Amino acid sequence: MSAFSRFTAIAQTLPSTVPFVGPETIERTRGLAVRARIGANESGFGPAPSVIEAMRAAAAATWMYSDPENFELREALALHHGISRDNIAIGSGIDGLLGDIARLIVEPGTPVVTSLGGYPTFNYHVNGYGGRLVTVPYAGDREHLDGLLDAVRRENAPLVYLANPDNPMGSWWDADSIVAFAQALPETTLLVLDEAYGETAPAGTIPSIAALIGQPNILRMRTFSKAYGLAGARVGYAIGTLGNAQAFDKIRHHFGMARVSIAAALAALEDQTYLKDVIGRIAASRARITAIAKENGLAPLPSATNFVTIDCGRDGVHAKAIVDGLMEHGVFIRMPGIAPLNRCIRISTGPESDMALLEETLPLVLKAVGSRQ
């Protein structure tokens, strides 16, 4: 089937794809049922009961568009962080905000610096606007700060992406290192600092809001998708200077947020007691995944996120066989896509029933994979 002839030159060169294959797609194409959904870094612990009740109460108002200024949520976040609401932009998860940033900065041929094997949705947006990705290999399974800085200077890049803590490796830098990196960047380079996993990181990982709030070439990205358990609600936000936060108003979808999602985020932000409890459960599940991996002769990497990346000791072919083998038992996990990171698999934290199924099936899969290779 031929495509419409007036698509842009960029659109005509892009593949029709998505950055991640969802578990629903795997169920449809392979005829398998997901029994343990521990691959997409969602929170299997779910949102707080107070959040679910707030969503129910808001459902009747779904006939109305949401406030295009997102005033109430910006005000609540401002109070939470001790900043002005004018320093905050709301979007449909960090993924949506990344697309807005690419639209604001990237033109055909624009050099954009990121890590080789890092979060692929950022690359997806850059490619969509014709940007030229400049990738820097990881160093010791962490994003290479010096390498990223060198690439920015060499390319005179207007945009650099850094996730701390990192996806897909779960590694992290301390706050002082992040601040030093940000302050060493040229003033003409915007740092997109993705802090999606900030709530699950150890103390001393995330710079204070005050440490970077006045620097005009930084946007800090936060989400309700991870620790707050609202991945399906699609609520994220950016923290930056007044000029940067308001720049989103130039191009964003002003009616892009659902009223039910905004109600959920407001309730989640208010229920910090539940958040604290979930963070503890995530930490316990991380320890459980780590123990299961070690019991099976694998090497789990230290993690500051809601997942554990596990070194399987060989190559991407071997790791993919493990991923596929676990799915045969209904255990959905993922793996990094780029060598040498793809020697690993990545397992999200989840409730004990999921952990028990992982513990039961992983040795069976490793035995079967070993017998085939």
Concatenated DSSP letters of 159-170: EEEEESS-TTT-
Cα separation, 209 vs 131, whole angstroms: 30
146: tokens are 């010096």
- What residue spans in the chain does CATH classification 3.40.640.10 cover? 49-270
CB-side neighbour CA atoms (13 Å) of 190:
24
User: Which percentage of the chain shows pLDDT scores above 70?
Assistant: 98
pLDDT computed for residue 18 by the predictor = 79
Q: How confident is the model at residue 373 (pLDDT cuts 50, 70, 90)?
A: low
The pLDDT of residue 269 is above 90: yes
C-alpha distances in Å from residue 246, one per residue of 90, 134, 250: 10, 28, 8
* Per-residue model confidence (pLDDT) at position 150: 98
Reported as a pLDDT band with limits 50, 70 and 90, residue 2 is low
Predicted confidence (pLDDT) at residue 355 exceeds the cutoff of 60: yes
pLDDT at res. 16: 86
Q: Which residue has the tokens 């993924």?
A: 95
User: Is residue 324 within 8 Å of 346, Cβ to Cβ?
Assistant: no
User: Do 161 and 145 contact (CB within 8 A), yes or no?
Assistant: no
Residue ranges in 17-136 assigned as alpha helix (H): 23-30, 49-59, 71-81, 93-105, 120-128
Q: What is the pLDDT of residues 92-135, one digit of tens each?
A: 999 999 999 999 999 999 999 999 999 999 999 999 999 999 99
What pLDDT shows up at residue 240? 96
Give 26-44 pLDDT, tens digit per residue: 999 999 999 999 999 999 9
pLDDT reading at 253 higher than 80: yes
Q: What is the mean pLDDT of residues 310-334?
A: 97
- Quick check: 292 pLDDT over 60? yes
Residue 231, classified by CB atoms within 10 Å of its CB into exposed (0-12), middle (13-18) or buried (19+), is middle
Could you identify the residue written with the tokens 């920015």?
152
> What pLDDT is recorded for position 5?
73
| Cβ atoms of 237 and 90 closer than 8 Å | yes
pLDDT of residue 264: 98
Q: Which CATH number fits domain 49-270: 3.40.605.10, 3.40.50.1110, 3.40.640.10, 3.20.20.140?
A: 3.40.640.10
The predicted model gives 206-212 an average pLDDT of 96
Looking at the chain, the domain(s) classified CATH 3.90.1150.10 span: 9-46+273-372
Q: Given 3.90.1150.10, 3.40.50.720, 3.40.50.2300, 3.40.50.300, which CATH number is that of 9-46+273-372?
A: 3.90.1150.10
In angstroms, the CA 347 to CA 307 distance is 5
Mean residue pLDDT of the chain comes to 96
Q: How far is CA 29 from CA 16, 20, 40, 147, in A?
A: 17, 15, 18, 40
Q: How far apart are the first and last CA of the chain?
A: 40
The model's pLDDT over 138-190, given as tens digits with 9 standing for 90+, comes to 999 999 999 999 999 999 999 999 999 999 999 999 999 999 999 999 999 99
The pTM (predicted TM-score) of the whole model is 0.96
